[in-house]
Amino acid sequence: MNAVIQQIGLSRSGVKQNTAERFSKAAKQYQQHARVQQQAATRLFSLLKNDYDRLLDLGAGPLLHHEYLANCASNVLSIDLSHGMLSQGPTDTWRVCADMDNLPLQSGSVSGVFSNFAIQWSESPAQLFKELARVCKPNAHVVLSSVLNGSLKEIAQAWQTLDDRCHVNQFLTLQQLEQFANDAGFTIQQTQQVCLKDCFANAKEAFKSVKSIGANQLQSQSIQRSGLMGKKRYEKLLAGYPLEHNQAVVSYEVAIMELVKL
C-alpha cells in the first residue's frame, strides 16, 4: 500500500481547516447521531461489488463502514480531512489524513471508490472529480452519496423567524454533480435524488443533531451568523421550527451515484 501513497501537504484553506476542526470535535459523538448517513450508506452498499483489488473510502470519518468494505476488497484505504475522525476507527487499517481535492495517491492506483456524505465539503467539486478520475484505474467502479441543495430546510425555516440571512449551506444540485462526473471522464451508470429524514422529540434536539455530526459548518464566507444568541432569541428560534406529526424533522436531499471510469 505504501507504493500508492504520495506525500502531499494538507490544504491551508481556512474553510477546510475549520471543517477539519469541526469534524474532529464531533468525532466522538458522530456515530450515535449519523443515522441519515447510515441510511445513505445502506443504499450505497447495495451497489458495491465484492472483488475490488484496492478500494478507497473517501471521507471515511470514524471508519463506520470499514468492516463492510473490507469484505468487498482485498485492501481498503481510508482518507479523511479530519485526524480526529480517523483516530476513532480501528487501528489495524490504512488511514491517511488528506484533502479530497488533492489526493495523495498515485494515478491509476484504485479499482473502486466508496464515498458517503463527504464530497459536499469539497471546495472544488470539478477538481475533486478530476482527482477521482486520476487515481482510478480504467473501469474502476465508484459509488457515492452527497448532500444536495434543499437540505436542512427545516433549520433554514426556523432561522427565518429571526432574520433574512442564510444560515445553512447552499449545496450543489444533482445535475451539477452529474456534469462534473461527465467532464472528468466517468460514465454514469445511475443516479437518483432521495430525501432522507431524521426525527427528534423537539427542535433543540434537531439543532443538536446537526452540530453533533459537524454539519453546522458554513462553507461560504458570505454566509455568516451574526449577533449574540440571547435567551429570548434562542427561544424564538426553537419556536419557529416546523413540526411534522409533533416531531422535529431534519431532512437531507441526497444524491446517490454509481459511476465507472472510462
**Is residue 227 in some structural domain?**
no
What CA–CA distance (Å, rounded) separates 180 from 184?
A: 6
Q: Name the helix (H) or strand (E) containing 68.
A: helix 66-70
Cell of 180: 462534473
CATH number of the domain that residue 94 is part of: 3.40.50.150
CB burial of 89-118 (b: ≥16 within 10 Å; e: otherwise) equals beeebbbbbbbbbebbbeeebbbbbbbbbb
Write the single-letter amino acid at 138: P
Say what the pLDDT of residue 7 is: 43
Cell of 141: 467502479
Across the chain, which has 262 residues, the per-10-residue mean pLDDT values are 47 57 58 84 98 97 95 97 88 92 97 97 96 98 97 96 90 98 98 97 93 58 53 95 97 98 94
Structurally, the chain folds into a number of domains equal to 1
Cell of 43: 443504499
Say what the pLDDT of residue 119 is: 97
**Is residue 6 in some structural domain?**
no
Say what the pLDDT of residue 214 is: 58
The residues that bridge with 181 in the sheet, in sequence order, are none
Domain that holds residue 46: 12-150+170-198+252-261
**Is residue 68 in some structural domain?**
yes
Say what the pLDDT of residue 163 is: 93
**Is residue 230 in some structural domain?**
no
**Is residue 107 in some structural domain?**
yes
DSSP secondary structure letter of residue 9: P
With beta carbons less than 8 A apart as the criterion, state whether 227 and 44 touch: no
Say what the pLDDT of residue 219 is: 47
**Is residue 206 in some structural domain?**
no
